[in-house]
């Protein structure tokens, strides 16, 4: 109890204001420590949570005392480990304190109107008056930038310090370009999933290359490979800039790594299948040439041995022109298709992350995440109840299961009949 009284004194707004050189940081540390103690000492959980809430409200109240945008920028850019020099005014805003607030999960501080106003001004930087325009004008501007995305990207690569390069570095423009690029990537995945072969449509060739073992990549799949390479490079850069601990704290980053690993596995398996099938084709050709040469020299049994070669099971189950239903279950092409399907699902789920910016869909995503946690907790109770009933049923019917099994084993040659009888019981 004495510990609670001590933390009541330490979390007092008057005490923090008079004793701390950085009251906001002190409130953050106390909030984090009190939340940790609430998880450890469950008997005093309510008291600790009230004190933690008090510290969070105190830091938000300090933020509300800012009188100008300049003061707000100083607070959100302040770094207690590397305090800035007062004469430095041209430094770009890095929002160190705001990033720390997000890491400490200070919801009241981050969601404060002053903080959100500064973030909105940074988000729409370079687009003055965009928020006050009509919705139709906003949609037209966004669509125009989205259609010009390829040209703007090329111009940024060629002239990164030009006026177009400065426009491309604006947060809102970057978001539009990244979103349009990702949507185009999903369109490519949709085209591959539908088995649309543009080369076949243009040339009029009836052969379906997608039904062959180890097919070479088509132009759409090559474009997807370039996209995957870009995604992997972007994740490596983000990991280097943020550090491993902060990078792993975001679940979406883990989903991105899993998705990229699935795409890499798909590419590796496709290459393996292509190399394997071409090697089988060369072996069959060499075998056919050797057989034809020996028959030409001997001049006998040519037709009979040629028929044996063409009906050889090894030659039927190898090569490109094997029917899909005759493929091995562990064929690399089949495995790559399964992994690619799973990667497509994860890639489509990434749209949920893009929709977080929407004021209507963003809160729904948070509600969905909390609902999933509640469902997982409830499923634990369901599994316990199901396990209890399974134990009871097993105690009742264990003898009859063993009796039925012994009867089937005694009737030699009637295994199929026993299987049919069991299926009949379950189908009733």
Domain boundaries, the chain: 2-83+91-123, 135-359, 379-427
Return the DSSP state at 216. Answer: P
For the chain, how many residues are written?
A: 428
Q: What confidence score (pLDDT) does residue 297 get?
A: 56
The answer to whether the beta carbons of residues 274 and 340 sit under 8 Å apart is: no
The first and second tokens of residue 9, run together, are 């004194």
H or E stretch including 235? Answer: helix 219-242
The answer to whether the beta carbons of residues 112 and 60 sit under 8 Å apart is: yes
The mean per-residue pLDDT over the stretch 244-249 comes to 85
The first and second tokens of residue 108, run together, are 């009241």
pLDDT category at 234 given cuts 50, 70, 90 is very high
Q: What are the tens digits of pLDDT across the range 115-144?
A: 988 888 888 887 888 888 888 988 898 899
What helix, strand, coil percent values describe the chain, rounded to 5?
A: 80, 0, 20
The mean per-residue pLDDT over the stretch 74-86 comes to 74
Task: Indicate whether 90 pLDDT > 50.
Answer: no
Q: What confidence score (pLDDT) does residue 315 get?
A: 47
Percent of the chain with pLDDT over 70: 81
Closest CA to 172 of 127, 135, 138: 127
Task: Indicate whether 409 pLDDT > 80.
Answer: no
Question: Rounded to the nearest 5 degrees, what angle is found at the Cα of 117, between the Cα atoms of 26 and 82?
Answer: 40
The mean per-residue pLDDT over the stretch 175-194 comes to 90
Query: How far apart, in whole angstroms, are the C-alpha atoms of residue 374 and residue 383?
Result: 14
The mean per-residue pLDDT over the stretch 215-237 comes to 91
The mean per-residue pLDDT over the stretch 323-341 comes to 83
Question: Rounded to the nearest 5 degrees, what angle is found at the Cα of 27, between the Cα atoms of 22 and 28?
Answer: 100
Provide the whole-model pTM: 0.76
Q: What confidence score (pLDDT) does residue 162 get?
A: 85
Helix 135-147 crosses helix 171-193 at what angle (to 10 degrees)?
60
Q: What are the tens digits of pLDDT across the range 45-55?
A: 899 999 999 99
Q: Strands (DSSP E) along 260-382, which ranges?
A: none
Return the DSSP state at 169. Answer: T
Q: What confidence score (pLDDT) does residue 300 get?
A: 47
Least confident of 188-197, 239-248, 276-285, 415-424: 415-424
H or E stretch including 377? Answer: helix 361-410
Least confident of 43-52, 147-156, 360-369: 360-369
């Amino acid at each position: 109890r004495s510990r609670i009284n001590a933390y009541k004194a330490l979390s007092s707004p008057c005490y923090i204001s008079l004793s701390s050189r950085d009251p906001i940081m002190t409130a953050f540390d106390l909030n984090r420590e009190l939340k940790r103690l609430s998880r450890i000492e469950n008997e005093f959980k309510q008291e600790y949570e009230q004190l933690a809430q008090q510290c969070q409200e105190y830091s938000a109240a300090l933020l509300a005392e800012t009188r100008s945008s300049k003061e707000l920028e100083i607070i959100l850019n302040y770094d207690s480990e590397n305090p800035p020099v007062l004469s430095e005014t041209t430094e770009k805003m890095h929002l160190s304190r705001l990033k720390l607030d997000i890491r400490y999960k200070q919801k009241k501080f981050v969601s404060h109107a002053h903080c959100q106003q500064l973030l909105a001004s940074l988000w729409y930087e370079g687009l003055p008056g965009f928020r006050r325009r009509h919705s139709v004008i906003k949609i037209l501007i966004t669509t125009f930038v989205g259609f010009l995305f390829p040209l703007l990207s090329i111009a940024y690569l060629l002239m990164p310090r030009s006026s177009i390069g400065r426009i491309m570095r604006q947060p809102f423009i970057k978001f539009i370009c990244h979103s349009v690029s990702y949507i185009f990537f999903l369109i490519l995945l949709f085209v591959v999933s539908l088995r649309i072969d543009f080369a076949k449509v243009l040339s009029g060739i009836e052969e379906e290359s997608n039904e062959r073992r180890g097919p070479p990549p088509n132009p759409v799949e090559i474009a997807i490979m370039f996209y995957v390479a870009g995604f992997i490079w972007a994740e490596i850069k983000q990991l280097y800039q943020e550090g491993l601990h902060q990078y792993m704290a975001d679940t979406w980053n883990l989903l991105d790594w899993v998705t990229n690993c699935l795409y890499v596995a798909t590419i590796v398996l496709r290459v393996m299948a292509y190399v394997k099938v071409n090697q089988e084709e060369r072996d069959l050709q060499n075998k056919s040439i050797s057989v034809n040469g020996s028959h030409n020299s001997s001049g006998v049994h040519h037709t009979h041995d040629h028929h044996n070669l063409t009906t050889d099971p090894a030659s039927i189950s190898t090569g490109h022109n094997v029917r899909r239903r005759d493929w091995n279950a562990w064929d690399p092409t089949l495995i790559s298709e399964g992994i690619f399907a799973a990667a497509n699902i994860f890639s489509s789920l990434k749209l949920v992350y893009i929709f977080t910016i929407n004021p209507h869909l963003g809160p729904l995503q948070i509600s969905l995440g909390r609902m999933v946690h509640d469902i997982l907790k409830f499923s634990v109770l369901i599994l316990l109840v199901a396990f209890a009933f399974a134990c009871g049923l097993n105690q009742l019917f264990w003898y009859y299961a063993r009796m039925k099994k012994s009867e089937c084993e005694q009737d030699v040659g009637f295994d199929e009949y026993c299987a049919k009888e069991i299926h009949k019981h379950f189908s009733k």
